[in-house]
Each structure stands twice: as C-alpha cells, then as structure tokens.
Structure 1
Amino acid sequence: MNKPTLIMFAVIFSMGLSGNAIAMTKPNAMTMPNAERSVALEQCSAHKLKAVYRIKKTFNGQTIDTSLTLLRDGNTVAHVYPDTQITESWFLNPRNNKVKPTRFFDEHQRAIEYQPEESFTQFDERNWSRRYQLVAQQTLDSLDVEKSEGELCESRIHKKGVNGNLHLVWKNAVQLVESLSVTLPNGLKEEWTLESVSFDMDYIESEFAKRDTYFATDYADVGDDHTDQFLTTMVNLGFVEGGASGFYNVQGEALEGQHGHSH
C-alpha cells in the first residue's frame, strides 16, 4: 500500500474563464484600471476552488495512472483520492494558526479526527502551504525561475530544480501547480497534470458539508473500542497513521512518498 503518490496537470476554467475566452479578449493587465483588474482576478480566486490532477508514475517500464482532487474553501483544504475513497483534510485556525487534520473514509462515511498539529503522517502538519498548494512555499521559492508568461488568471511561472530533474509550472492567480515533472534518483519518473479547475461554490461547499455528517472518532480513542470492525480494519491496513505523498523538495526528492498509502 506504500506507493508514492504522483500528480500531473493542464487547466480548464469554468465560469467563462477558458483559455479561448481569455485569448479572444486579451486584456492588457499592465494598462487595465485597478478596479477592472481586481474584478478579473476575483473570478479566479484561489480561496474557493476544485482542482483535478491526473497523476502518472513510470518505473522500470511500468506506468501507473491515478488522480487527486484538491478542494479549497477558505481555511479548509482537502485532498480527495478517488481510487482509495479516502479524503485528507486540514483546517487552519485563524486565531492561533494551528492546523487540525481529519481523515475521511468516504466509502464508509467515517472520519478520524486529530488534534491541532497532531499528525497522521510522520511529517509536520504545521506546514499549511504544503497542504494548500501541494508544494510547500519554501520549496517553491527555492526553485530557479526559467521564464514568466501570461496575465491575470493565465499568469504562470516556469521553474526548475537545481539539478534539472524537476520542472514545474506555477499558476500565480490560483496558487496551483499547473504541471510538474520530476525524476527521482532511483529512476522513478512522476508527472502531474492539472486537468481542470472549477469555482463552483455550491459544489465545493457541499463536498465539505457532506463529510461533516460522517460518524467521527477522535484519534486518541481509536484503540479503545475493539468491537468497531471498521477501526480495527483501518488500523491493520495502516490507513490510520500512514499519510499520502506527493510533495517534493528542491532536489526533486519525494518528501512523503515512502510512507503513503496507494492512490
């Protein structure tokens, strides 16, 4: 079950913000009045969105394809893994900047809640940017810039790792990785492609709301009820403590790939 998660990306905007629509109007962001520029950027707000990623991993001539959906709703973010029907979610408390993780088992409509900054991986849950945008901001800032292009919602920056084994395209307005290609020292190649982005507020809010109705168990109480077959099974399979992967440092090395469950 412990396979690195991988991720690929190419963007399709809903709400009239397709690439073709932007190409037809071609607004000049440099000369656009501030009010118009603000309205344009609000239409591609990073704070509430759904982003679907296609993931491709190639190793020793074998390829595995999977997907991940990133959901954002203000201070709450979720990573949805359709293949395993598991969703990992984090809430950033604005009062103390502490991050509270929750793991949802969508097939069973169950949840395991963790205390703020308690981790369901061996990694630091306080790194909000890693959960919010899949790549930690510190890592993103450490990459070399190759070029910048586009305006407003289509603004993007091409970056690469110091060893040339990581290439990433970053979309500024929505704070999303558009594409990422990385080759690890062991020969594993991962490619992430952003397939679609949606700003459908009703859908996004409903996704978080339905998971709030799941029967939840506090992580500290997981081992207390030996009659709960669901919890016993999840513990035995390693889903209670094992975390998902998909994050890289500046050298392109997977930060969590050796401890994630299979997606």
Structure 2
Amino acid sequence: MDRFSFNQATAKHWPLPDVIAGCAAAGVRSVGLWREPVASFGLARSAALVRDAGLTVSTLCRGGFFGADDWLDDNRRAIEEAAELGAPVVVLVCGGLFGRSLPDARARVAAGLEALTPYALDAGVRLAVEPMHPMFCADRSVVASLDGALALAAPFPAAAVGIALDTYHVWWDERVFELIAKAGAEDRIACFQLADWCVPLPADVLVGRGLPGTGHVDFPPFLRAVAAAGYAGPIEVEVFNAELWSRPGPEILEDTIAAYLACAAS
C-alpha cells in the first residue's frame, strides 16, 4: 500500500483533521487534498497537520477554470498553497466554454499555462492538465481527451506542466495506451487517479463515479501501462459518489483501501 493515496473528495463530508487522523491510523501515507476544506481549516494549520501526522500530500485540487475573470490570481494562489502544503502537483480542471467558442476556450487554456509556467517553476510545483470525459466539455473542461491534454502541455517544460491521468475520464479512448506510453516518454504523467465508470449514470453525472471494481473500467491494463511508462508516484483513488459520501468517513476509507488493494493485486 506504499503508493496508495486517499483523495479527500472520496469522503467529501469527512472533516480534514479526521481524514488525516484516519489515514495515519490506517497506515495510509499520502493524501490528495482540495483547496476549499484546506482554506476552511487554515492553510498553515493544514500543512502542520499533515506534517505532524507523517503524511505527504500527493496533489492539490483544483486550479484551472481559465475562462473565469479571476483565473490568474486564483491559480497563482493555488500554486502557493501547494508549495506550503508540500504538494508537488496542482490538478487543473481547465474550465468550460464560459460563453466562448470551443477553439477560443481552448486557446484560453494554452494562454493560461503559458502565464503560469514561470510561477510553477519558481515554486517547484507541477501543473497537471486533467483531460475530462467529453460529457463535461461545456461546463467543466474543454480539454476532453488525453491527446488534447498532451498537446497543450507540449510547449512547456515537463517540470512545470504535465497531465493528470484519471481512469474515469480516459478509459473509453481507443488510443489510451498508446497515449500513456507517449506521456511517459515525454515525462508528462504528473499524477494517476483511479475511479470506475458505473451505469446507469445518475441524473447528476458529476457524482457518477464508483470505487475501482464496481463498474466497467479494466484496471490492470492501466496499471501496467502507467508502470511501463515510468510513472512511480502515488496512485490516488478519487471518487465522486453521493451514496458513498453519505457513509461514515472511516468506512469509506476502509472500502477505498480494499478496492485499491484488489485492483493492484489483479
């Protein structure tokens, strides 16, 4: 379980101190954190809490939303927060159309990465462009394929800009393993996240993910492909699921660990 990281979003309603304490008690050494609960608890307090528990932060989510008016200041803050937490990666949910055409919205993302690259390099924090499933293109991310994410990252140093590889968003792509190999060759895999695709999708598709092994994603080929691509970092489980969120945090963590271990052993 050395590489397992528990993404805080998997237990959305579990308070941050309890997440950290629960992970430490369960032998989990890494967590993926979200900016809103970190801000609510306090950035310095959160950093100290993680540090005192002997944990590391695998990722901080989220930056991006480049179509918003305050995108530059907000993303600079995200980079600063990640640096204080010791998180090597800020995951970018790049944002939807914001009233623009699709080409213009994607151009905004490219311009945003160009503007943020110097800050990321100075802070030692990597920006991870997350390609999201095409059903989220209009409102959440105009970066709707792994190929598109790699193309956006290509002009920038790999130390500054990589990609966030989430099985939930890319499992359907017939080129996915070819593109994972390309990402590895270009040193672009900044983080690797697991979630399953379950059907039927709920009315709110945002909360339609499942724990690994509960849906239709074939995880062993992904784990092999990512390992062959040279990625040796944390493997996060990040699941948005309303039914899961309704359960007690310790129970969610226990089931998430079990799902990860079963997946990793396959």
TM-score range, shorter chain: under 0.3
> Which is strand-richer, 1 or 2?
1
- Structure in which a larger fraction of residues adopt helix: 2
Larger gyration radius, structure 1 or structure 2: 1
Higher relative contact order (CA 8 A, sep 6+): 1
TM-score (norm: length of structure 1): 0.28
- Normalising to structure 2: TM-score of the pair? 0.28
